[in-house]
Amino acid sequence: MESWPVLLLLTILLVIFSWSVIGFLRKMNLTKENREIAEEQLAQLKNKKQKLSNDIENLNTEEGKETIFRENFGLAKEGENLIIVLDEKNKEEEKISSKSGFFSKLLFWRD
């Protein structure tokens, strides 16, 4: 047991075993992280499923249908008026495009 070749062989086996254990621990940590990610995704999907189930139940009622049509399609009942609000960005673009000057008339004389 005290010969150099046996000690060298045991040392090599110990290094190989240690390397394998370290690799196993890395894989365990990676698996743990992947499990946490999967659990978070599962929780998000459950929340989304619950929301969609509520939306489906809401669509089965007349009030729910009316709400969806009003929000998505801008529909109104008879006698109601519809107000359309424009963004400030559109107003700024209109101001820039409506400016008229000597150079803009030269550049856009075809308009």
For 11-31, how does the pLDDT look when each residue is reduced to its tens digit (9 = 90+)? 999 999 999 999 999 999 999
Per-residue confidence at 65, pLDDT binned at 50, 70, 90? confident
CB environment 76-108: b (16+ within 10 A), e (fewer)? eeeeeeeeeeeeeeeeeeeeeeeeeeeeeeeee
The whole-model pTM stands at: 0.48
State pLDDT tens for residues 38-63. Answer: 999 999 999 999 999 998 898 888 88
